[in-house]
Structure 1
């Protein structure tokens, strides 16, 4: 209930009740509301047109935003450096490591491919700096994928290197008897007259003359596949080098290894003799690749210089009589 107000009338020397007109009351209310709205509007315009006028909370948020932008710029610089280093590693991987081990290079499109399907960055949209955050996130994801691909490639290279080392150690690469002056090579690979059968036939290896009892060496790392007497070959050792390579050592006088034994290149496996179809003390040496007989002259790179190789090549090409 509103209070009743009075005023003092001097003419009648009495108090009279104040009567408010309805229209005047409405005008008063209107002016009060209108004045408040106008004042608020003017204050808003003043606030919006003073650029440095910020609340403490806004100042704190602005500082935080500036710090985050600085961090993202720093992150982008670090990612750019990582991308450069990774690009160098990828170049070496394709052009050196994978090329050396005869592995196909990884295509750049595969290394740098993005991510298809759904929008992975939808949750980052709708913010003032969304593009900055989304681009940084994309670069990080692509870098992670490149690192995974490169890691798998290096694992493959490690495996290939291990196999390559085993292959290089296994390939027949030295002469089976000591032959420093290159005078022991008696007969080469090719069509030769057989000394006992007296007709020309294929001579599948090379004959090295040496006194009975001369040491015979394994020409590469291998496992002894056979060490026993054989028709024609006499006492025969067959070494399985793996990777499709086998070597034959025939007409031996004595075995110094047994079947199943592992041997290293240069290890003594037997002695020169003249057993089987043989006319003199010598070693008959063969190299087989994937079951096919090949010329042993191509497998002496481990102990012959280029000049020595030419001399032996010329000697092995002479169609003389073989010793077996």
Structure 2
């Protein structure tokens, strides 16, 4: 508490209290406030310039950042483990399940394809840890896409498994003509000499020589997709196309006559037509093709209901000879 001061008034012959001037009081107050402010600023400058000194809030942010980086690292490790498991499942899918159910394998490009087009991660750029965050997000997106592709593959395999009995009955699994001694195997699948144009070209099926009128059999359960009748010199001549489902079709060309009608259901071993010499043919024979998803494949791979191992090797040797085809 400040001392109270007095002065002697000679006129009144008494002591009077000395009252401080109002302006001086305000000035002292302002001077005090200014001193406090200057002192505070000086202390703040000194505080902020102390080496390695962090505010409590900065320490909290730093701990959060370190924890985030740790969590991202753990997430990346877990994703690497998931990728390893997924790769094993994908390999089994392609080399076991899809082979067993005769489904086309899924290419690595299709499984691991990235995301093209615009930059999907531009909103994550511009931060100290952008590289880490974007890398993790990309890996997660790619993993998600691979899981979707694999899930669809499993759905397809499940559907094939449910239809396995129908698939086994539909697969072309016997020879299209009676050929117990295999002597009717005239020309196989591959590059062969064209009998008309005298140059090597791709022969997409197998030729079986047989007398006109020899019975031709459906090699698997199917529906008659097409019957084309023509005796002109070009093309397949009289032709039957069977649709076996599951992406499989068989072609029977150069026939002399038919024993089925369009859209008719036929069973393996059923007579569908007769050997002939129509179309681009140099003698009575059956030209037989197997096509999967629209592409010709080697028919010799589909005779497993009809041939012993020894017979298969004999036919394989006959069919692999680069001789002249009959069409």
Q: Please, what TM-score do these two structures have when normalized by structure 2?
A: 0.49
Larger C-alpha radius of gyration, 1 or 2?
1
Q: Please, what TM-score do these two structures have when normalized by structure 1?
A: 0.49
